[in-house]
Amino acid sequence: MEEFYLYNGQDSYSVIIGKGEKGTKKIVWLPEDKKKEIVVENYKDGKSKKEILNIVNEKLNPQKIISVKLGMEKNVPLWEVTYLDESERFNYDYYDFKTGEWLKYYRSI
């Protein structure tokens, strides 16, 4: 295991990044709800944390990044970025793990 995230959105997930048996870097989304399926993706098949940070810094110019973590909403693996804007208000932006496409946001919380 290299990284671990707890994600609490519409559903709760434990997200683990690590190497599989053959040394390939993988991500596993473990749902708290046992009725939901476990999702496994190759890390290289999506946007990296660094790539997401580049998108956020270029488009939003945040004052301070608070956190960048993986999560899942409606069966879509995503990156959640929490940051402070120029007025020091919390903002949350969500980006598709595979494409880096912006999905949704919550501003000025």
Per-residue pLDDT of the chain (109 residues; tens, 9 = 90+): 899 999 999 999 999 999 988 899 999 999 999 999 999 999 999 999 999 999 999 999 899 999 999 999 999 999 999 999 989 999 999 999 999 999 999 887 7
- What pLDDT does 5 receive? 94
Could you tell me the pTM of the whole model? 0.91
b/e sequence 61-97, b meaning 16+ C-beta within 10 Å: ebeeeeebbbbbbeeebbbbbbbeeeeeeebbbbbbb
**Which domains are delineated in the chain?**
3-106 (3.10.450.40)
- What pLDDT does 107 receive? 83
- What pLDDT does 108 receive? 78
- What pLDDT does 62 receive? 94
Distance CA 61, CA 39 (A): 32
